[in-house]
């Protein structure tokens, strides 16, 4: 057993866990205990990084003994059964007041369940979303911890020491109790799906509309990255489009199979939104677009279905590219507005006190959706913390007002040319749906009352009404 005392421990030393442990060890004042189910990973990490001064442990007892109280351990193992097994093992050796952090990608209802179970023992359980992949874990992720206020007292300074820094502020905040952190991380991923799909649609529209090469389109994205769209995703899109395949010399994007994978966080975001009754249509379309791409047999079956009978040429390429840029920005505003709406609704449903402005700030660094744009969101919530709809805040309303004509032209072009732009068009339909003075929901209510006597409310009187339809028998 080691005679050194660590202030923080990491359990699970695959890539994410090892990088997080190295990040922790590199910060002044931290001594890091490390434990892995099989000892090989522990030995490899300790021997490859002598500078880190890790305190290796080979059993949970040894791990607990090497930690100063309150003991604080971050679990970085596979989500699901492995996480439950690790929590159970830590609960056996930890004491009341100690802190167990799950830094994996847990589904937030699991985190709520685990928090409740662990709390019974007097031990604190914190579900923390950690974004930024391997690179972020090593150099500074965006961290979204939930859990109790008590645990935040100990955990806050440690997490602040390893988080990314954006404009002088660490990208971590105590999101809210129990599952709040993993909930917010889930929605972050949903927004990421939408952001990526919108960029992909913009690329496709420009490529098919103008015939520009991927390398030429890379220059357009690089240019966009100097304006209001500036973000990590736009930056890497330019890099991806610039890349040629080493084997064939072709643009790499043309060699990559066009079937998008997913690990399920987008689907969770949409499933949760459906049960909360929050219309995250842009995120849903982005998630479905990945599913659609991954059905080659259906795509093959659909190949001969007719498309538009006439060509839709782009007359002015420069104007078209600018329209696409504006449509992208407008749709992006909608995607974020929908994501924040889901967080607002989740907070109301689960009793979390979530500061939406603080969330936008901790996404400015370390994570995949980091962007200048998030400052505008923070400003909107600073001005009006109870903002009912992000896209209606003055800055965004103004941007949508400036971009909406271009957005419509792009969606019309996509429709006429037979180019799928599900995220662009559903975002526009959401925008028009919310701003409509009257919606055909009135007709839907009439239909519901007709066939099921579900009743309706009236515009001119309070109460519930049922009509004796002539079809009634």
**Residues that bind ligand ATR in the complex, under the rule CB under 6 A:** 12-17, 36-38, 41, 77-78, 82, 85-86
Q: At what angle do helices 422-435 and 281-293 cross, to 10 degrees?
A: 160
Q: At what angle do helices 180-210 and 214-224 cross, to 10 degrees?
A: 130
Residue 386 is given by DSSP the state T
* Closest CB 134 distance from ligand ATR, rounded Å: 8
Which of residues 103 and 209 has its CB atom nearest to ligand ATR in the complex? Answer: 103
Q: At what angle do helices 265-276 and 317-350 cross, to 10 degrees?
A: 60
Which of residues 37 and 207 has its CB atom nearest to ligand ATR in the complex? Answer: 37
Annotated catalytic residue within 185, 201, 285, 332: 185
Q: Residue 437 catalytic?
A: no
Query: Which three-class secondary structure state does DSSP give residue 406?
Result: helix
β-bridge mates for residue 75, sequence order: 11, 102
Which of residues 38 and 275 has its CB atom nearest to ligand ATR in the complex? Answer: 38
Which of residues 137 and 399 has its CB atom nearest to ligand ATR in the complex? Answer: 137
What DSSP assignment string belongs to 26-55? TSTT--EEEE-SSHHHHHHHHHH-GGG--E
Annotated catalytic residue within 48, 61, 160, 192: 192
CA distances from 309 to 208, 312, 414, 416, 422 (A): 16, 10, 14, 9, 21
What DSSP assignment string belongs to 248-311? T-SBHHHHS-S-----SHHHHHHHHHHHHT---HHHHHHHHHHHHHT-HHHHHHHTTS---SS-
The two structure tokens encoding residue 466: 């049922």
DSSP element (H, E) containing 180: helix 180-210
Strands 55-56 and 99-102: unpaired
The two structure tokens encoding residue 297: 């047999």
* Closest CB 293 distance from ligand ATR, rounded Å: 23
The two structure tokens encoding residue 328: 């992208």
Cβ 18 vs Cβ 26: under 8 Å: no
* Closest CB 162 distance from ligand ATR, rounded Å: 18
Dist CA 364 CA 435 (whole Å): 29
Q: Residue 185 catalytic?
A: yes
Q: Which residues contact 18 (CB under 8 A, 6 or more apart)?
A: 41, 45
Question: Please, what is the Cα angle at 229 between 226 and 234, to 5 degrees?
Answer: 85
* Closest CB 89 distance from ligand ATR, rounded Å: 8
Which of residues 62 and 379 has its CB atom nearest to ligand ATR in the complex? Answer: 62
Alpha helix ranges (H) inside 384-468: 394-417, 422-435, 441-452
* Closest CB 83 distance from ligand ATR, rounded Å: 8
* Closest CB 98 distance from ligand ATR, rounded Å: 18
Q: Give the residue numbers marked as catalytic.
A: 185, 192
């Amino acid at each position: 057993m080691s005679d050194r005392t660590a202030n923080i421990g990491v359990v699970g030393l695959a890539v994410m866990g090892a990088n997080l442990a190295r990040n922790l060890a590199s910060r002044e004042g931290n001594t890091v205990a490390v434990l892995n189910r099989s000892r090989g990973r522990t030995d490899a990490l300790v021997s490859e990084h002598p500078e880190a001064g890790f305190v290796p442990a080979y059993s949970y007892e040894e791990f607990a003994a090497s930690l100063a109280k309150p003991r604080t351990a971050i679990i970085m193992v596979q989500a699901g059964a492995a996480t439950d097994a690790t929590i159970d093992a830590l609960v056996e050796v930890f004491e009341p007041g100690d802190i167990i952090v799950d830094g994996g990608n847990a589904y937030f209802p699991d985190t709520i369940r685990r928090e409740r179970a662990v709390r019974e023992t007097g031990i604190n359980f914190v579900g923390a979303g950690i974004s930024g992949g391997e690179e972020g874990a090593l150099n500074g992720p965006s961290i979204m911890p939930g859990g109790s206020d008590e645990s935040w007292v100990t955990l806050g300074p440690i997490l602040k020491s390893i988080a990314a820094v954006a404009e002088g502020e660490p990208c971590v905040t105590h999101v809210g109790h129990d599952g709040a952190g993993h909930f917010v991380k889930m929605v972050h991923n949903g927004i990421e799906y939408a952001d990526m799909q919108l960029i992909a649609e913009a690329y496709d529209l420009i490529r098919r509309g103008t015939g520009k090469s991927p390398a030429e389109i890379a220059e357009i994205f690089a240019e966009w990255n100097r304006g209001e769209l500036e973000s990590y995703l736009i930056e890497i899109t330019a890099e991806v489009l610039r890349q040629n395949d080493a084997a064939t010399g072709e643009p790499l994007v043309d060699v990559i199979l066009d079937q998008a994978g997913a690990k399920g966080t987008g689907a969770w975001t949409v499933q949760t939104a459906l049960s909360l009754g929050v219309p995250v249509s842009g995120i849903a379309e982005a998630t479905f677009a990945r599913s659609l791409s991954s059905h080659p047999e259906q795509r093959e079956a659909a190949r001969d279905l007719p498309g538009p009978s006439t060509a839709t040429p782009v007359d002015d390429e420069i104007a078209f590219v600018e329209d696409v840029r504006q449509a992208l920005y407008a749709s992006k505003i909608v995607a974020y507005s929908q994501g924040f709406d889901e967080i607002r609704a989740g907070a109301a449903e689960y009793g979390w006190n979530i500061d939406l402005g603080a969330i936008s700030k901790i996404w400015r660094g370390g994570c995949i959706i980091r962007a200048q744009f998030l400052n505008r969101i923070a400003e909107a919530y600073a001005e009006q913390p109870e903002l009912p709809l992000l896209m209606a805040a003055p800055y965004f309303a103004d941007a949508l007002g400036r971009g909406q004509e271009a957005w419509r032209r792009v969606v019309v072009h996509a429709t006429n040319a037979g180019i799928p732009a599900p995220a662009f068009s559903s975002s526009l339909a959401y925008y028009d749906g919310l701003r409509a003075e009257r919606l055909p929901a009135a007709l839907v209510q009439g239909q519901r009352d007709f066939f099921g006597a579900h009743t309706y409310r009236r515009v001119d009187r309070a109460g519930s009404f049922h009509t004796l339809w002539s079809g009634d028998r």
